[in-house]
Structure 1
């Protein structure tokens, strides 16, 4: 069984309206939320072998804030993940080496939310309980969805993921401390 972790970048700053979107940093809440999510990931034993991350500043700062990740994963930064649609993210997952047991993808909405909904599929969304209901409603900044994947990476398709958990920063006490 493979593990796929989908992490939306944490809350970004809009303080400088002249800054290009790609270059927006995290704001103070985003840094706090990402650090809390990193702590939760360590507590849950979520340790990816590979991290696929958008080249946007806010995704790279999210990655920095959740570190250290267990096991020193291979970090692969991709410009094409910036605001990528679900289909592009899925194509990138199809190219992951079969030796990877766990992948963390750090990206943006709406593509990340669309990918999560595609993986869970309509039947998983309907029967997946409270986490699936919350995931169906929205994918907030800093949120993490964990999926169990039964196929090789190249075979991941719609309905091919079982939602294990959906964590939002508001669920984590450390994000409010």
Structure 2
């Protein structure tokens, strides 16, 4: 069994209108939300053992905050994850080796599209909301009944959890 954790970066700052998108940091609300979501991962025993990050500053800061609370690996920046589509994310997931719980931290609209494509379509309304509204800090968890990450396929995963920071306060 492989668990896939799809994390949309926490709320970012727009305080510098001239900053490049890739360099925008988290704002105060985002920093708090990332820590909260990290605690949720820990509480749910969903701390990933492999983490792939978009190179955007906000994704790196999101994982840094989450990791400070939950533990887990440092994470690996993968340039292709910046505004990635599901096919790119699937390729990266499949290259995750022996990891049991694999996280991707990225952006919309890729996160909801990836959750939709991986899901077998059988889901509760509490997780189905991710397919239409995936706010900053949102975390989706899917489970693939495979032994190797290389075997993960679209439409083959059970969509088990979707939580947003607002759910936890």
Structure 2 gap segments, 5+ residues each: none
Partner of 1:145: 140
> CA deviation digits over 1:13-60, x for unaligned, max 9?
111110000000111111111111011111111121111111110000
In 2, the alpha carbon distance for the partners of 1:64 and 1:9 equals 11
Structure 1 gap segments, 5+ residues each: none
Partner of 2:31: 31
Partner of 2:49: 49
**TM-score of the aligned structures, taking structure 2 as reference length:** 0.93
SS in 2 for 1:158: coil
1:12-161 map, 5 Å: 12-68=12-68, 72-73=72-73, 75-97=75-97, 99-121=98-120, 123-124=121-122, 128-151=123-146, 152-161=148-157
Query: 1:75, CA displacement in angstroms?
Result: 1.7
Query: 1:70, CA displacement in angstroms?
Result: 5.1
Give runs of ≥4 in structure 1 deviating > 3 Å. 69-72
Query: Retained in 2: the 8 A contact 1:12–1:58?
Result: yes
RMSD over aligned CA atoms reads: 1.4
Deviates more, 1:65-74 or 1:162-171: 65-74
**TM-score of the aligned structures, taking structure 1 as reference length:** 0.89
> CA deviation digits over 1:80-113, x for unaligned, max 9?
111111110111111110x211111111111111
Query: Retained in 1: the 8 A contact 2:59–2:105?
Result: yes
Query: Retained in 2: the 8 A contact 1:49–1:74?
Result: no
